[in-house]
Amino acid sequence: MKVSLLEGPSAALAHLGIEMTGWGEDVARFETTVAPFHLNRSGIPHGGIYATMLDTAMGYAGAYTGDPDDRRMTLTLSLNINYLSRPKGTRLIAEGRRMGGGTKTFFTEGTIVDETGELIAMGQGTFRVRSGA
């Protein structure tokens, strides 16, 4: 996967400690180390952390152009997440993949695993490329 870190994460991602670790045609990867502020009252990462990571990875998967001057922005139209397990490790790895669609609307799938390979969450999303982006 080609990594192009031409732009840093958004302020929200930076605040949560989520970093882009891979980006190429039809695929994107974001990672974070679990921190105390990610945890819910049960002591595991809050589902919103998983949702944020999946939404971001899947949206970026359809935004890659390979040209830093051709910046494509996307909007989430729908997002579905299935929570499957809790992490066994301390690193969350979200990967989004563009599965199809057209030039304006596209469909994605995503997963979150930890560094042990534990499958934690899966998602599906529909995104739209923003006009004038």
pLDDT at 1 over 60: no
pLDDT tens-digit map of 34-81: 999 999 999 999 999 999 999 999 999 999 998 878 889 999 999 999
pTM of the entire structure? 0.91
Measured from the Cβ of residue 18, the count of other Cβ atoms closer than 10 Å reads 23
pLDDT tens-digit map of 74-118: 999 999 999 999 999 999 999 999 999 999 999 999 999 999 999
Distances (CA, A) of 91 to 21, 40, 73, 75: 12, 16, 27, 27
- Res 8: pLDDT: 60
Count of all residues that appear for the chain in the document: 133
Give 69's contacts (C-beta < 8 A, 6+ positions apart): none
11-129 maps to CATH 3.10.129.10? yes
Nearest partner of 122 among 29, 74, 51, judged by Cα? 51
